Structure 1
């Protein structure tokens, strides 16, 4: 057990696409404390990752959904074997998909049982090798190409399935399928429809905001800062980004721009009016502001200082230039 996650059963199948067949395990893994911690830490990373997407199975003609729905105490091993064979067959037809071990496990989180499907893509690393010769041992360095991702790295392709309602949380990467980069893991293997991840939503919001600012305000610095402040105020007040409220505050004097802003966000695939942002992501993306002048000077400061003229002030000069005044500095520390 690790931080509320209980690993109940697990099995590992080897999907090395350079081989002609997968190596299907005939037995389950022994759930040692070390193994339980390894799996639990990866599951925690998936749950907390802003790239994780919520998804739902397409139920019609979906072998993976049928297997998951029929999962019971007796068929865990056979079901995961069938999953491994389906995924391996698809990997062999699409050589861009990396080889991996498929780790499947039943775990409990908040008194609910889940099925985790973790595709542990191989990592390459160097290690020593002792070669026994007549004259004694000769130590050398060799490359291992089938190492599994360590606890510190996130799993790049995976799914957590709630066995009470069969909803999914997935992380995936695009690989070349039939000449085009696609999310094959959800589309062809799991056959599910996914929402946008928090990161994808923020990227859409950031791109549309920059495009509108460039189109109508010529990348005006003050307008950029106004938008940033609106994001931060929305997060402080509501613990989420209220897109419509921000558009109203920033573009309230021009209904045409406001409507175009909202339309472009919808066209980009973001239909929600609010984005719930995890606290740690707020710290990462909205705590600091970085600016760069045309003279090559770079500044990085807490975003909250935008409202603090006792800390930093932006002064518009008569000649059209901008002066930046940094105030009340007690000590200057040089950095690298």
Structure 2
């Protein structure tokens, strides 16, 4: 994924001070550390918690986008001002900095809204007084997250098609926690994130494992493997294929699985985050098992299904044994 930054600006959100402090000058994108920070933040906006969708054509944000390229500073102020009129009403939304970025990716123009909450951190400060040079320890309450950390909230919007990728958080409004960004700011109902859909699948699979008397650990392991394989093959979650892989010849279980995931909120989707295969590789390519005796295992999918390398044995007393085979070397990583 090649990202070419065209314009960027930083606006400050100090709720105690009142309205946002708008910068009238763009960030200097010739500075490598600024480019690196913004590019990594944009990349981090695409992850397993990212929701996707397309803006409604007559929404306020959608209408603003026509200004993004020719009147970038004005556009950024209007975008942030529109967002802030909702954000300021929250009882617990923190102070933060907001980056607005215009960039190209794969020859398509995008804008990004990146929110970075303030964190407390200690640093030094040097001053000269009557007694000499003094090195002091000070507490800075406006430190931003590092470049490798995902944004606290943010959205990227492809200008031509108005498609977006969104990370949003729940904040408290009049005593109730809710997602304000999709509902109020962009006036859109996004598709569930990859994690939200996977959680629905896991809950339904666990319920069915109890109903059809199948070991839960085995069903969940099959689910994870099937999710990984279908995303690798097609780029999206194919629930019919997952049902076939997990429940095989059990027609009743397959039908119940398909019906219940829809009932519990799973949404079939073809529009997924751009990096879905890379995300799937990191998240689902290894089985993570925690045994009742405290042992934890991380097993690659290809190893999990190889009886020459690992085997799960049902003991006569109802317990399980895990046999790990053909080990050539053991390393202790402290």
TM-score interval for Structure 1 and Structure 2 normalised by the shorter chain? 0.7 to 0.9
1:146 to 142, 145, 148: 142
SS at match of 1:207: helix
Superposed displacement of residue 223, structure 1: 4.2
Q: Which residue of 2 aligns with 1:69?
A: 66
- State the TM-score, normalizing by the size of structure 2: 0.87
Superposed displacement of residue 231, structure 1: 4.3
Contact 1:201 1:275 in 2 (8 A): no
| Runs of 5+ unmatched residues, structure 1 | none
Superposed displacement of residue 33, structure 1: 3.3
Contact 1:46 1:154 in 2 (8 A): yes
Q: Which residue of 1 aligns with 2:40?
A: 41
Q: Could you tell which deviates more after superposition, 177-186 or 269-278?
A: 269-278
Are residues 252 and 170 of structure 1, via their aligned partners in 2, closer, same or farther at CA, if it must alter by over 3 Å? same
Q: Which residue of 2 aligns with 1:209?
A: 205
2:327 to 326, 329, 333: 329
Aligned equivalents of 2:97, 2:247: Cα separation in 1 = 51
Contact 2:206 2:219 in 1 (8 A): no
1:172 and 2:171 matched: no
Aligned equivalents of 1:119, 1:220: Cα separation in 2 = 40
- State the TM-score, normalizing by the size of structure 1: 0.86
Q: How does 1:62-211 map to 2 (within 5 A)?
A: 62-73=59-70, 75-211=71-207
Q: Could you tell which deviates more after superposition, 189-198 or 310-319?
A: 310-319
The CA RMSD measured in Å over matched residues stands at: 2.7
Are residues 151 and 112 of structure 1, via their aligned partners in 2, closer, same or farther at CA, if it must alter by over 3 Å? same
Q: How does 1:253-268 map to 2 (within 5 A)?
A: 253-268=249-264
SS at match of 2:21: coil
Aligned equivalents of 1:164, 1:44: Cα separation in 2 = 20
SS at match of 2:161: coil
Aligned equivalents of 1:278, 1:6: Cα separation in 2 = 21
Aligned equivalents of 1:299, 1:187: Cα separation in 2 = 41
Contact 2:52 2:271 in 1 (8 A): no
Aligned equivalents of 1:257, 1:234: Cα separation in 2 = 19
| Runs of 5+ unmatched residues, structure 2 | none
Structure of higher RCO (CA pairs closer than 8 Å, 6+ residues apart): 2
Contact 1:204 1:270 in 2 (8 A): yes
Contact 1:114 1:163 in 2 (8 A): yes
1:14 to 6, 12, 15: 12
Aligned equivalents of 2:166, 2:235: Cα separation in 1 = 24
Contact 1:242 1:275 in 2 (8 A): no
Q: Could you tell which deviates more after superposition, 190-199 or 319-328?
A: 319-328
Contact 1:232 1:286 in 2 (8 A): yes
Contact 1:53 1:195 in 2 (8 A): yes
1:24 to 5, 22, 35: 22
Aligned equivalents of 2:176, 2:239: Cα separation in 1 = 33
Aligned equivalents of 1:262, 1:69: Cα separation in 2 = 42
1:286-312 deviation digits (Å, cap 9, x = unpaired): 332233443444333323223322112
1:130-163 deviation digits (Å, cap 9, x = unpaired): 2433212332211111122321111121111111
Superposed displacement of residue 266, structure 1: 0.8
Q: Which residue of 2 aligns with 1:291?
A: 289
